Amino acid sequence: MESKKLVIIGAGGHGKVAADCAEQQGGFSSIIFLDQGGSEHKDYPWPILDKPENFARFIDGNSSFFVAIGHNASRDRWTQALIAGNAPLATLIHPTAVISAHSQIGAGTLVCARAVVNPFTSIGISCIVNTSAIIEHDCKVNDLVHVAPGSCLAGNVEVGRASFIGIGTSIVPGIKLGANVQIGAGAAVTKDIKDNCLAVGVPARIIKSLPSC
């Protein structure tokens, strides 16, 4: 099978991680970026050829696309734009990640170095399973969720759409988080959390309601 060109939207720090993961995963003939601030990234080893809004110019039958934006709402906007424009989404999985053959990883998702996804777990579209994150058996992680580095979701956890699990968070078995939930760094989640809430601490407690996304 011919290698595809990878077109990455977003040349920030997360973009660097995505491009490095793609290089180590292999299977791409070249990697290019689309970003608003091309002149600000002169040290990049990958060329920045255009702005994101011009992505359609790069749809050629041999390109796949990846949105490398950490902010969930912005990643959602560009993911939906690519889907509407019939731009195929790439899925990036670092070779040191451990993913069960009985789990599913959605299109446009990044699984970073040393992450673990155990059996019968589903990961949605355009998610981020960041460095050394652990997602245990029978979890459901909906679209656009970001599980930050070193976080651990125990078995049978469900995470709603576009939620953010802060670095080093632990979530006990069977917990359900709603959509657009944000969990602060180092939290221990021991109770369900409804939609559009910010929770922090050990044990995690809701401290703020968030605007719907």
Ordered structural domains, the chain, with CATH = 4-90 (3.40.50.20), 93-209 (2.160.10.10)
Looking at residue 176, its amino acid is K
Indicate the DSSP class of residue 54. G
Q: Which two tokens stand for residue 59?
A: 């749809």
pLDDT at 3 > cutoff 80: no
Tell me the average pLDDT across 105-132.
98
* Cα gap 8→126, rounded to integer Å: 13
Rounded Cα distance between 76 and 181, Å, is 15
Dihedral sign for Cα atoms in the order 34, 35, 37, 41: negative
What lies within 8 Å, CB to CB, of 124 at 6+ separation is: 106, 109, 141, 142, 143, 144, 145, 161
pLDDT at 44: 79
Contact between 94 and 24 under an 8 Å Cβ cutoff? The reply is: yes
Tell which residue, 172, 185, 70, 77, has the closest CA to residue 127: 70
Contact indicator for 59, 37 with CB cutoff of 8 Å: no
Residue 26 main-chain phi, psi, to 5 deg: 80, 175
pLDDT of residue 38: 58
The H or E element spanning position 124 is none
Complete edge-to-edge strand list for the sheet that includes strand 28-34 = 48-50, 28-34, 4-9, 63-67
pLDDT tens digits, one per residue of 16-42: 999 999 999 999 999 999 998 755 666
Q: Which of 34-43, 72-81, 163-172, 202-211 has the lowest mean pLDDT?
A: 34-43
Q: What is the mean pLDDT of residues 90-105?
A: 98
Tell me what the mean pLDDT of segment 88-109 comes to: 98
In this predicted structure, the answer to whether residue 110 has a pLDDT above a threshold of 70 is: yes
Whether omega for the bond prior to residue 88 falls within 30 degrees of 0, making it cis, is: no
Beta-bridge mates of residue 134: 116, 152
pLDDT at position 1 is 44
- Which residues carry out catalysis? 137
173 touches 191 (CB < 8 A): no
- pLDDT tens digits, 126-158: 999 999 999 999 999 999 999 999 999 999 999
Q: What is the predicted pLDDT for the residue at 212?
A: 82
Portion of the chain with pLDDT greater than 90, in percent: 92
